[in-house]
Structure 1
Amino acid sequence: MTYGARLSNSFHGEWELYVITDLMSYDDWPEHSFGQTGPIPTLQERADALAQLGFVLADDAGWEWQERPTGVMDRVELLASADVWRKGGAS
């Protein structure tokens, strides 16, 4: 089963990664805080965080970036997403 991983800068600007699973509440989704506002976590740091959460990137998956502006003079929120699998269980 494929899940969606998300990397975003939180309201306070710190980078966090979470995996959207079949659990009903977002409070129960696996998550990892990088505890930093910059720079953006590297590909290896993201892979390590996913591994700690029990996931790996799906075959041929890459991170896709989006900007979420809240207004022309406001800070832009960045969001990256990628397809992931549970470790040891492709598809």
Structure 2
Amino acid sequence: MMLPQARMATGASGTWVLYVLTDAPVLQWPMHDFGRVTPMPTVQERVRALTALGYTIEGGPEWEWNATRHSPAARHLWAAIAVRPLADVPGSSVPGVA
């Protein structure tokens, strides 16, 4: 997995959450809660949320969808896409990011 990467999943409250995995500690990852269970956020809503967090999609707009396979619990659906910062992030160790 290349960093940074955006992921969208349902949070503990059941609402859709978009977060950006970076080399920072988990509690410092940029995050946006869409505040709803349905409907699933559209691609345009995800792009707006990423922009508000300071990121843009890297490459094509295709999100990769996955499901956890933990048993006996229900599967957990999540999506991922490569992103890049809109501006350089000082002190980052992510390749290509100052």
TM bin, normalised by shorter chain, reads 0.7 to 0.9
Gap regions ≥5 residues in structure 2: 89-95
Aligned-partner SS, 1:59: coil
Runs of 4+ in 1 over 4 A off after TM superposition: none
Correspondence for 1:82: 81
Q: Percent identity?
A: 35
Q: CA deviation at 1:17?
A: 0.4
User: Residue by residue, what CA displacement relative to the aligned partner does 1:12-62 show, whole Å, maximum 9, x if unpaired?
Assistant: 210000001111x10000000000011110000000000000000002242
**Pairing 1:2-81 to 2, within 5 Å after superposition:** 2-23=3-24, 25-71=25-71, 74-81=73-80
TM-score by length of 1: 0.84
TM superposition score normalised by structure 2: 0.79
Higher relative contact order (CA 8 A, sep 6+): 1
Give the root-mean-square deviation of aligned CA atoms: 1.9
Report if aligned partners of 1:61, 1:83 keep a CA contact under 8 Å in 2. no
Further displaced range: 60-69 or 36-45: 60-69
1:88 Cα deviation (Å)?
Answer: 4.6
